[in-house]
Amino acid sequence: MELVRNVFFVGFMGAGKSTVARKVARSCGVASLDMDKYIERSCGRTIPEIFDEGGEETFRRIETDTLRELCGKDGGMLISCGGGIVKSEENRQLLRDGGVVVHLMVDADEAAARISDKSSRPLFNDIESARSLCAERRPLYEEVADFTVFTGDKDLRDISREVRRYLSQEGVICQQQG
Ligand code: S3P
């Protein structure tokens, strides 16, 4: 199969973006990329280390530069983004212009249950602040989303199938030419 455009997965921490991107990629034989992992590799530091050393501001600058770089590459990829990618208008514009955006909608309580290692998420503190951050971000995810999946208690395999069906219907994933 071939991916004709980039597909960006957005949603709150713990929504399952990386796993779903990977599963869809495997089932279609296309490439996927986890933006946070890509940032960690290119900076030689973990996300918590980047936050510790330069604060959120530094991380956001790197995140925007990375998004711009990925948008400029030819060929489609399934890209899972960090949960805060939608914070800036600049990023939202890059996402809208850069491909198809899939929002995996999750609520903070479900997300908390899914995240096993909260120490790897500097912005996931207590459940109260996660709930308000999640509520604050939801309209931003929706603003950029072409397709929203309500993840609820669905398993990640079903979510991946739903995404794959949508991408096929829209002609974003198609049979390779030639
Ligand atoms: C963040 C989410 C994280 C990571 C960073 C900031 C956020 O990614 O980019 O810790 O602001 O919501 P995940 O959504 O993959 O956990």
Please name the residue ranges forming H helices in 12-150. Answer: 17-28, 35-43, 47-71, 89-98, 108-114, 127-144
Amino acid at 117: D
Average pLDDT, the chain: 95
Distance 73 CA to ligand 1 centre (A): 23
pLDDT for res 14: 93
Yes or no: say if 63 and 84 are a contact pair by the CB < 8 Å rule. yes
pLDDT for res 75: 82
For the stretch 127-147, pLDDT in tens is 999 999 999 999 999 999 999
Q: Is 2 helix (H, G, I), strand (E, B) or coil?
A: strand
For the stretch 99-125, pLDDT in tens is 999 999 999 999 998 888 888 898 988
- pLDDT beneath 50: ranges in the chain: none
Yes or no: say if 32 and 128 are a contact pair by the CB < 8 Å rule. no
pLDDT for res 178: 63
Distance 85 CA to ligand 1 centre (A): 8
Q: Which residue in the block uniquely carries the two structure tokens 């908390």?
A: 112
Is 1 a pocket residue for ligand 1 (Cβ < 6 Å)?
no
Distance 93 CA to ligand 1 centre (A): 19
pLDDT for res 49: 97
